């Protein structure tokens, strides 16, 4: 029987008054795996009112850090016990491989545990600001947090927001992407089994245009934390201007991966493949532009293509699959359209370029690992985020050339450099205008490290202590140690 996914508001699972349900599809088979409620504007407003009420009641916002940490640990334990089921749900909803999905769930467990630990370690500042004036700097929750996430890491992106937002003491409203709500629903079923007070955490399924936009516009939402496309990030910033709400934006990227002639070529090929084909290229930090030095260009491309050809594409629940499906038909069409644009722009299509329709893949949305060589910075396939298994490879001459090409896009999310010359690696990385960078590796990062971009890749940082700061207000408290009259106005004497 197809599962019917509901909204979760004030501790109750409710059907939307909206009769239109969203079909939730397995992108590897096109099978309808669930039907999801689509929140109306009124239901979104009810979720906001509930969150505001519970925030003001102090039932969560005034709990001690230790009590909040204990709750985060309860949630992490629930996720850990249900790891297998959550990973299986992520596979059939998003299309990613089992290995990728299991890594996401493990990261989700770690994220809750990390913030539980951080709560025990957060200290406040105190200093003597002046004679007899003691100052304390304290952190406080912001209020109601609207958390809007995309479809590429449906569970993990939700947790990257929920864990610090709850740790800070906020009441929250999560809105997953309309096409991938399944693991968020399971996560809330688990949260419901913990002692988190009712009404602190709401779940809204539904569209960006209604539920998302209502959260962004509401004067009763104090922060919107959004991960998604740059275009929608810009809309959210505008929509939030009414009450000058804080916006935290994790947006798109077109990240350069720079391979110097003195790199370990086999290592660089390995990570350059991982950099783009992991998650079928549907990863914000994908190394989607390869910059290869002219003295190894031919050799590198030959090795790269040979390995890319061998990637086993298939349904995520087949353990042999190394690269899964594209999340939806619409997104697959957008990627295929970019491939066509690349061909028309004169890039050389060196590998792939097609939808895969044989060997049992005909019903799903699969695209061959695709390689364009001899591209130039003016091409759309080099400037725009394709968000699929498509790499564009560009040649560079020297360090100066590499830096110029690497920074020649509006994005600034991530970047990497491969070379055996460590001082050169640091020189280049410091010049790359991006928030997440690597030397001789790709994609490896930890929950302790700030996550976010420069330029149009976003504002603010997730994860680490920076991620907790994002959901907190900062207050100064000035305490007189010797209360006596100031007598500023002589007439008062
Ligand atoms: P999207 O921007 O289309 O949608 C993201 C979310 O925003 C969805 O939940 C959607 O319903 C909602 N939304 C849409 N319109 C809205 C509106 N007007 N107001 C409020 N919410 C609205 O993005 P997507 O296609 O789901 O995800 C892919 C994008 O996400 C890529 O650009 C990718 O780079 C980016 N991304 C960035 C990071 C990061 O950490 N920087 C991580 C993952 C994905």
Band of the pLDDT at 221, cuts 50, 70, 90? very high
Q: Please give the angle made by the CA atoms of 412, 338 and 30, to the nearest 5 degrees.
A: 105
Ligand 1: distance of its center to the CA of 61 in Å? Answer: 28
What φ, ψ does residue 478 adopt, rounded to 5°? -105, 120
Six-digit token pair at 269? Answer: 């090929």
Q: What is the pLDDT of residue 493?
A: 60
Per-residue pLDDT reduced to its tens digit, 10-30: 999 999 999 999 999 999 999
Ligand 1: distance of its center to the CA of 121 in Å? Answer: 32
Q: What is the pLDDT of residue 486?
A: 87
Q: What is the pLDDT of residue 230?
A: 94
CA distance 122 to 238: 33
Six-digit token pair at 454? Answer: 């420069």
Round the CA-based radius of gyration of the chain to a whole number and report it.
24
Band of the pLDDT at 85, cuts 50, 70, 90? very high
Band of the pLDDT at 6, cuts 50, 70, 90? very high
Q: What is the pLDDT of residue 288?
A: 98
CA distance 431 to 411: 14
Q: What is the pLDDT of residue 285?
A: 98
Element at 84 (helix H, strand E): helix 83-94
In sequence order, the β-bridge partners of residue 348 are 373
Q: What is the DSSP letter of 313?
A: B
Q: Average pLDDT, whole number, for the chain?
A: 97
CA distance 135 to 137: 7
Is ligand 1 within 6 A of the CB of residue 177?
A: yes
- Atom index in ligand 1 nearest the CA of residue 148 equals 9
CA nearest to 48, candidates 230, 216, 239: 216
CA distance 197 to 90: 27
Ligand 1: which of 147, 178, 208, 409 to mutate, most ligand atoms within 8 Å of CB? 208
Per-residue pLDDT reduced to its tens digit, 246-260: 999 999 999 999 999
pLDDT of 356 strictly over 90: yes
Ligand 1: distance of its center to the CA of 486 in Å? Answer: 54
% of the chain at pLDDT higher than 70 = 99
pLDDT of 240 strictly over 60: yes
Beta strands in 195-354 (DSSP E): 201-203, 223-227, 246-250, 256-259, 289-293, 348-351
Ligand 1: distance of its center to the CA of 78 in Å? Answer: 27
The pLDDT of 129-135, averaged and rounded, is 96
Q: What is the DSSP letter of 153?
A: S
Is ligand 1 within 6 A of the CB of residue 102?
A: no
pLDDT of 1 strictly over 60: no
Render the burial of 347-382: b for 16+ CB within 10 Å, e for the rest: beebbbbebbeeeebeebbbbbbbbbbebeeebebb
> Which residue in this structure is represented by tokens 């990062």?
445
The pLDDT of 92-105, averaged and rounded, is 98
Beta-carbon contacts of residue 194 (< 8 Å; ≥ 6 apart): 71, 74, 75, 78
Ligand 1: distance of its center to the CA of 151 in Å? Answer: 8
Q: What is the pLDDT of residue 255?
A: 98
Q: What is the pLDDT of residue 492?
A: 60
CA distance 27 to 363: 8
Ligand 1: which of 38, 181, 229, 249 to mutate, most ligand atoms within 8 Å of CB? 229
Q: What share of the chain is helix, strand, coil (3-state, %, to 5)?
A: 40, 20, 40
The pLDDT of 470-478, averaged and rounded, is 97
From residue 308, give the alpha-carbon distance in Å to each of 34, 277, 295, 378, 438: 34, 9, 21, 25, 22
pLDDT of 490 strictly over 90: no
Band of the pLDDT at 359, cuts 50, 70, 90? confident
Positions annotated as catalytic residues are: 250, 284
Is ligand 1 within 6 A of the CB of residue 228?
A: yes
CA distance 201 to 300: 50
Is ligand 1 within 6 A of the CB of residue 461?
A: no
């Amino acid at each position: 029987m197809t599962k019917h996914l509901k909204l979760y508001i004030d501790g109750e699972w409710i059907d939307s008054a909206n009769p239109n349900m969203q079909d939730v599809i397995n992108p590897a088979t096109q099978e309808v795996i669930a039907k999801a409620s689509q929140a109306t504007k009124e239901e979104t407003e009810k979720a906001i009112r509930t969150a505001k009420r519970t925030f003001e009641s102090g039932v969560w916002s005034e709990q001690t850090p230790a009590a909040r940490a204990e709750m985060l640990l309860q949630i992490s334990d629930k996720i850990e016990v249900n790891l297998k089921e959550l990973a299986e749900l992520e596979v059939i909803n998003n299309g990613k491989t089992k290995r990728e999905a299991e890594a996401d769930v493990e990261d989700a467990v770690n994220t809750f545990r990390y913030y539980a630990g951080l709560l025990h370690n957060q200290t406040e500042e105190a200093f003597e600001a002046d004679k007899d004036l003691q100052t304390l700097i304290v952190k406080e929750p912001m209020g109601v947090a609207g958390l809007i996430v995309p479809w590429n890491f449906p569970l993990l992106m939700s947790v990257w927001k929920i864990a610090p937002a709850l740790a800070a003491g906020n009441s929250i409203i999560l809105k997953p992407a309309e096409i991938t709500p399944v693991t968020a629903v399971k996560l809330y079923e688990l949260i419901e089994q913990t002692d988190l007070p009712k009404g602190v955490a709401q779940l809204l399924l539904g569209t960006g245009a209604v539920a998302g936009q209502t959260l962004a516009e509401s004067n009763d939402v104090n922060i919107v934390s959004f991960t998604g496309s740059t275009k929608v990030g810009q809309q959210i910033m505008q929509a939030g201007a009414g009450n000058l709400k804080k916006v935290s934006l994790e947006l798109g990227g077109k990240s350069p991966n720079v391979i110097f002639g003195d790199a370990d070529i086999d290592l660089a090929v390995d990570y350059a493949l991982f950099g783009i084909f992991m998650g079928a290229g549907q990863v914000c930090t994908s190394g989607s532009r390869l910059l290869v030095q002219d003295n190894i260009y031919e050799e590198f491309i030959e090795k790269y293509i040979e390995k890319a050809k061998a990637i086993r594409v298939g349904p995520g629940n087949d353990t042999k699959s190394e690269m899964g499906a594209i999340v939806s038909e619409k997104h697959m069409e957008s990627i295929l359209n970019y491939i066509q644009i690349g061909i028309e722009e004169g890039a050389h299509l060196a590998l792939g370029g097609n939808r895969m329709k044989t060997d049992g893949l005909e019903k799903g949305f699969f695209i061959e690992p695709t390689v364009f060589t001899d591209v130039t910075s003016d091409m759309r396939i080099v400037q725009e985020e394709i968000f699929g298994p498509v790499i564009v490879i560009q040649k560079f001459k020297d360090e100066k050339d590499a830096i110029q090409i690497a920074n020649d896009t509006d994005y600034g999310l991530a970047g990497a450099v491969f070379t055996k010359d460590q001082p050169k690696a640091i020189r280049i990385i410091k010049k790359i205008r991006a928030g997440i960078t690597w030397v001789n590796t790709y994609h490896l990062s930890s929950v302790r490290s700030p996550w976010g971009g420069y330029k149009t890749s976003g504002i603010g940082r997730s994860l680490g202590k920076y991620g907790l700061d994002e959901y907190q207000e900062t207050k100064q408290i000035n305490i007189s140690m010797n209360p006596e009259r100031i007598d500023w106005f002589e007439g008062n004497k």
